[in-house]
Amino acid sequence: MAKKLSSALGIDIGSKTIKVAEVKNQGRQAVVTALGAIETPADSVDHTGVYNADNVGAALKQLLQSIGASSPNVVVSIAGQASVLVRTLEVPRMNDTELAEHMQWEISRNIPFAESTVQSAYAKLEDQDPNSANMDVLLAISPQSAVDTLIAAIKKSGKQLAAIDVEPTAVARMLAVGGVDPTEVSCVVDIGHKTTGINIYRGRNLLMPRQVPVGGELFAQELSRNLSVSLEEAEEILKTKAEIPRGYVAEAPPDPFAVPGSLSPEPLQPYNPFAPEPEPGGGMDPNATGGFEPMPQPDATPEPVGSPETMRILDGFRPALEELVAEIRRSLDYFRSKGGEVDRLRLFGGVARLKGLPDYLGASLGLGCELLDPFKGVSVNARKADPELMDGRRGEFVVAIGNGLYILF
Question: If we measure between CA atoms, which residue out of 98, 134, 133, 106 comes closest to residue 122?
Answer: 106
Residues 99-124, mean pLDDT to the nearest whole number: 91
State the DSSP code for 303: P
As a whole number of angstroms, the distance between CA 371 and CA 150 comes to 29
Please state, as a whole number, how many other Cβ atoms lie within 10 Å of the Cβ of residue 290. 10
CA 162 from centre of chain: 25
Please state, as a whole number, how many other Cβ atoms lie within 10 Å of the Cβ of residue 368. 12
Amino acid at 11: I
Q: Which domains does the chain have, with CATH numbers?
A: 1-179+376-409 (3.30.420.40), 181-248+305-373 (3.30.420.40)
As a whole number of angstroms, the distance between CA 383 and CA 381 comes to 6
Please write the tens of the pLDDT for every residue from 363-373.
Answer: 999 999 999 99
DSSP code string of 241-266: T-B--TT--PPPPP-TTSPTT-S-SS
Instruction: Give residue 364's pLDDT.
Output: 95
Q: Which residues lie closer than 8 Å to 255 by C-beta, 6 or more apart?
A: none
Average pLDDT, the chain: 87
Whether 269 has a pLDDT exceeding 50, the answer reads no
Whether 313 has a pLDDT exceeding 70, the answer reads yes
As a whole number of angstroms, the distance between CA 261 and CA 283 comes to 15
What global pTM score does this model have?
A: 0.85
Paired residues of 188 in beta bridges: 199, 346
The total number of residues shown for the chain amounts to: 409
Q: Which residues lie closer than 8 Å to 125 by C-beta, 6 or more apart?
A: 88, 135, 136, 137, 138, 205, 206
As a whole number of angstroms, the distance between CA 321 and CA 385 comes to 32
Q: Which residues lie closer than 8 Å to 264 by C-beta, 6 or more apart?
A: 286, 287
Please write the tens of the pLDDT for every residue from 200-232.
Answer: 999 999 999 999 999 999 999 999 999 999 999
State the DSSP code for 279: P
- What is the percent of the chain with per-residue pLDDT over 70, rounded to a whole number? 86
Instruction: Give residue 240's pLDDT.
Output: 93
Instruction: Give residue 22's pLDDT.
Output: 97
Instruction: Give residue 367's pLDDT.
Output: 96
Please write the tens of the pLDDT for every residue from 173-194.
Answer: 999 999 999 999 999 999 999 9
Please state, as a whole number, how many other Cβ atoms lie within 10 Å of the Cβ of residue 109. 7
Instruction: Give residue 299's pLDDT.
Output: 52
Please state, as a whole number, how many other Cβ atoms lie within 10 Å of the Cβ of residue 206. 24
